[in-house]
Structure 1
Amino acid sequence: MPAHVAIIMDGNGRWAEQRGLPRSAGHRAGNVAAREMVYGALEIGLRHLTLYAFSTENWQRDTEEIVAVLEAIRRELDEGPVRDLDVRQRWSGNPGKLPEELVRSLLREERRTRARTGLTLTVCLNYGGRDEITRTAAALARAARAGDVDPDLIGEDDFARHLPHPDMPDVDLLWRTGDEQRTSNFLPWQATYAELYFTPGHWPDADRRDLWQAITAYGRRRRRHGAAPLVSPRKPAVPTRPE
């Protein structure tokens, strides 16, 4: 059982286009699939679920689509059924360029749900892995200038403590839908040793059973983190009697 599953929810727009619908309809359907994953995670006791909702590269899309995506996320925060579940909601990303109303909703839900002990749901919004690492390095540089850390003794733990969410555990399973096989600047620090899992279906077609199938596939893999596999000691050969 993984402790942390991260998902790249890919294929909303293509799902809509295949049905002759505007791409915004695909993003609304994608929100329904995201709820399904939360329900499925709660049912099996998953501790951490992280969803890639909007990347720093997604600003290159059509303005109408961007507005639809961000407005759908805001409505989900303000009115969605997840807000009444035992879910601690957090977000990760750069607040710059995001609508102020959306940022207020994100911060409000973080404060309102921070004492919940069930699933920790992190939504990555205006998120880029390189951007996160750059901002973390800047925070670490400020700490070094203030004398809080010794630049000559900085280690991985020091860097991790300056991440936006230093308590976020490493990703065990990174799943991407939409028939693409790349990680697309998603959680590069936390997912260094993640098991990668790719599926061809578009995100709006996914439900909690797909999450469980992904976790089942994860359970069949052997995770060694660079260590040599354990080998059973060979039984000594039985000497043969000379003829």
Structure 2
Amino acid sequence: MPQHIAIIMDGNGRWAQKRHMPRTVGHAKGAAGVKALVEHCAKLGVKYLTLFAFSTENWSRPADEVSTLMALFVQYLEKEMGALAAAGVRLKVIGDVAGFAPELQTRIRAAEKATQHNQAITLVVAANYGGQWDVVQAVRNWQAAHPEASVSQLTQAQLAQHLSTAGMPDVDLLIRTGGEQRISNFLLWQAAYAELYFTDALWPEFDEAQINQSLHWFATRERRFGKVTNPNLEKAL
């Protein structure tokens, strides 16, 4: 069982367009399924689930769509976090949250504080997030913590301590729904050795059966991390 699953939730707009509805309806439908998926992953023993909710590039989308995404985020914090907190879910938001409205920033901080001691699963929401931004911020944060040091002294382990995911395990399984096969600036450092699972299912269609299918696929993978094939595993297969 992977300890850390990351998902690029793609296909909300296309799901709605296929049904001759506004793209914003697709985003609402996609958000509605998150709670059940989080609870399912917690029951399976997954410790971290990271969802790509809003990228740094998403600001270029139509204004009404961006507004809807922001409203859904607020709504989710209002309506769903109580139930998720009761189920032992800890919330962590990564990304440049300073770019959000003050009200949303306040709600994010409150939800993180209210769930900080929960241990069933950590739900990580990547909002106004970009993998390249994350690495640059980590370098800046390291330099701020070591103002007298030269960047030539910076190690991989030290940089990892200043990423937005510091203290979390690296991604084991990265899933992208919607049929595209790219990672779109998502957790570039943390997914260096992740298994990549691409599915044609649009995000509103990605349910418990779909996540189970991805986990069965993950179980067939041999994770070598740059090493040679395990001969004992080959014999067993």
Instruction: Quickly name the TM-score band, shorter chain normalised.
Output: over 0.9
Q: Please give the TM-score of this superposition, normalised by the length of structure 1.
A: 0.91
Residue 7 of structure 1 contacts residue 174 of structure 1 at CA under 8 Å; is this kept in 2? yes
> How far off is 1:21 after superposition?
1.0
1:163 aligned partner: 163
Cα deviations by residue, 1:60-103 (Å, 9 ceiling, x for unpaired) = 10111101111111111111132432100010000232111111
1:129-148 equivalences in 2 (<5 Å): 129-145=131-147, 147=148
Cα deviations by residue, 1:112-131 (Å, 9 ceiling, x for unpaired) = 00001110000000111111
1:68-147 equivalences in 2 (<5 Å): 68-80=68-80, 81-145=83-147, 147=148
> How far off is 1:206 after superposition?
1.1
Residue 87 of structure 1 contacts residue 119 of structure 1 at CA under 8 Å; is this kept in 2? yes
Which protein has the larger Cα radius of gyration, Structure 1 or Structure 2? 1
1:23 aligned partner: 23
Give every structure 1 segment of 4 or more consecutive aligned residues whose post-TM-superposition deviation is greater than 6 Å.
none
Q: Does 2:86 correspond to 1:62?
A: no
2:228 aligned partner: 228
Q: Distance in 1 between matches of 2:230 and 2:26?
A: 47
1:194 aligned partner: 194
Residue 97 of structure 2 contacts residue 128 of structure 2 at CA under 8 Å; is this kept in 1? yes
1:238 aligned partner: none
Q: Please give the TM-score of this superposition, normalised by the length of structure 2.
A: 0.93
Aligned-residue CA RMSD in angstroms? Answer: 1.3
1:27-46 equivalences in 2 (<5 Å): 27-46=27-46
Cα deviations by residue, 1:108-149 (Å, 9 ceiling, x for unpaired) = 11100000111000000011111111111111122231x4x5
Residue 40 of structure 1 contacts residue 212 of structure 1 at CA under 8 Å; is this kept in 2? no
Cα deviations by residue, 1:193-233 (Å, 9 ceiling, x for unpaired) = 0000000011001111211111110010000001111336x
1:10 aligned partner: 10
Unaligned runs of 5+ in 1: 233-243
2:179 aligned partner: 179
Instruction: Report the residue type matching 2:213 in the other structure.
Output: Q
Unaligned runs of 5+ in 2: 233-237
Task: Provide the aligned length of Structure 1 versus Structure 2.
Answer: 230
Q: Distance in 2 between matches of 1:12 and 1:151?
A: 42
Residue 49 of structure 1 contacts residue 122 of structure 1 at CA under 8 Å; is this kept in 2? yes
3-state SS of paired residue (1:175): strand
Q: Distance in 2 between matches of 1:217 and 1:207?
A: 16
Instruction: Report the residue type matching 1:45 in the other structure.
Output: G
Task: Give the % identical residues.
Answer: 38
> How far off is 1:150 after superposition?
5.9
